[in-house]
Chains A and B, each alone.
Chain A
Amino acid sequence: MIPAAVGYVRADSVEAAVAALGEHGDEAKLLAGGQSLIPLMRLRLARPSVLVDMGRANDLRGISVDGDTVSIGALTSHSDLEHSAELAAACPLLAHVASQVGDPAVRHRGTLGGSLAHADPASDLPAAVLALGGTLVATGPGGSREIAATDFFTGFLESALAADEVLAGVRVPVSTGGWSYQKFNRRAQDWAIVGVAVAEGGAGVGLVNMGSTPLRASAVEAAVAGGAGASDAAASAAEGTEPPSDNNADPAYREHLVRVLTERALVAAGA
């Protein structure tokens, strides 16, 4: 289907994007890679009044490693993450998870910032950023603020960003300890029915599609910190989750899956 009529402005920097959001009000929407927003607009599930296209804000694109911190611009594509030798060395979990998103064409255009701001519990990258204990940088009219990944996802497709704020970038610690990403799906190209991201041998564990937001498996992290083995720690993976029911799986099956996948991920990560 063809999207509903919409206005369009180009914003080639973070400042221009913030200004455009301020000018056009609540019904305006940022457009990054468009790989979530355009499908929604085609189904007319999203009908923004104005698109603020920040796709060419090149100052928001790139990966840099400084000491023990990796900084990534919000417009960095999944494909950039997947192919970055620097990221593969400093934070292999994130590079690998990016390579598991959708298909190559989606990865060429979809961005890390879009994936996080969209706050879809079924997305892969939010779980990885949660497991890594990342920090998100939001820029608004009054300047920039930092939001811990654990505070960022506030509801189904809802984030802590204000209507006039732009997600400018993400910082994650350099993380080269044991890691794993287990994505369970049944068809090529599909979203995860359940996914589990493990960083630093189980110190950080993020869950995909186990509730209305991307989740952190705190009970598993605590068990690992307390010295539990993979199988014992994984037994608590469904604690505190509220898995959805859909054509692929009911909540009980998802709870089963998350325990199995968490154990596999912990074993692969050397827990």
Chain B
Amino acid sequence: MEVSVTVNGEVRTADVEPRTLLVHFLRDDLGLTGTNIGCDTSSCGACTVLVDGRSAKSCTMLAVQADGADVTTIEGLAGEDGLHPMQEAFHECHALQCGYCTPGMVMAAVSLVDEYSDMDADGVREGLEGNLCRCTGYQNIVKAVLAASE
């Protein structure tokens, strides 16, 4: 099936099998390997991208479901004048160690601060419950998200 998806502002067209997961379309067909795969159970959030501006687990969505949609991956977040404020905050607050969860964590966080206003630390923790990090203990991730949401 032919799908046409606007990825990071550019229309990308490909012929995919209906069973192709969005994350495989991004990584294997488009070569956008910033989006990671961390589980088989839709639990870890490493694969989080924005679909029409809202976070979605790209391992729990078919590429055909994204036909006509606007998808943003970690590669599309930085602008002409440098990093996105959320990326900047992760950098400043040292919110990553191995970095495996980071692309998904950043995308989920961008969606979160857009969706919920006036969040405190508890709100951020709850809002990121679908994103697992095995390294940081979350402390600095929460700090970074709060910093970026100010």
Q: List A residues at the B interface (Cβ < 8 Å).
A: 1-8, 31, 34-35, 38-39, 41-43, 51, 53, 55, 79, 83, 102-106, 108-109, 188-189
Contacts and interface: CB of A to CB of B under 8 A. Distances in A.
Contacts of B120: none
Given A103-B131, A108-B54, 10 more contacts: A2-B21, A8-B1, A35-B60, A38-B42, A42-B21, A43-B41, A79-B115, A103-B129, A105-B48, A105-B111
B56 A108 contact: yes
Contact of B19 (A3, A43, A109): A3
20 contacts: A1-B40, A3-B21, A8-B1, A34-B61, A34-B62, A35-B42, A35-B60, A38-B42, A102-B130, A103-B130, A103-B131, A104-B55, A104-B108, A104-B115, A105-B55, A105-B57, A105-B130, A106-B60, A108-B56, A189-B43
Contacts of A41: 19
Interface of B: 1, 17-21, 24, 40-43, 45, 48, 51, 54-57, 59-62, 64-65, 108, 111-112, 115, 125-131
B18 A7 contact: yes
Contact of A34 (B18, B55, B60, B127): B60
B64 A53 contact: yes
Contacts of A108: 51, 54-56, 111
Nearest to A39: B42
B137 to A, nearest CB: 14
A189 B108 CA distance: 14
Given A2-B19, A2-B21, A34-B61, A109 B56 contact: yes
Nearest to A1: B40
Contacts of B56: 105, 108-109
B40 A43 contact: yes
A55 B128 CA distance: 25
A6 B57 CA distance: 20
Contacts of A53: 64-65
B112 A104 contact: yes
B50 to A, nearest CB: 10
Contacts of B1: 8
Top 4 closest A-B pairs, CB basis? Answer: A103-B130, A8-B18, A188-B129, A189-B129
Contacts of B128: 103
Nearest to B129: A188
B76 to A, nearest CB: 17
B24 A2 contact: yes
B116 to A, nearest CB: 8
A2 B21 CA distance: 7
Contact of B130 (A2, A7, A34, A106): A106
Contact of B65 (A4, A55, A106, A189): A55
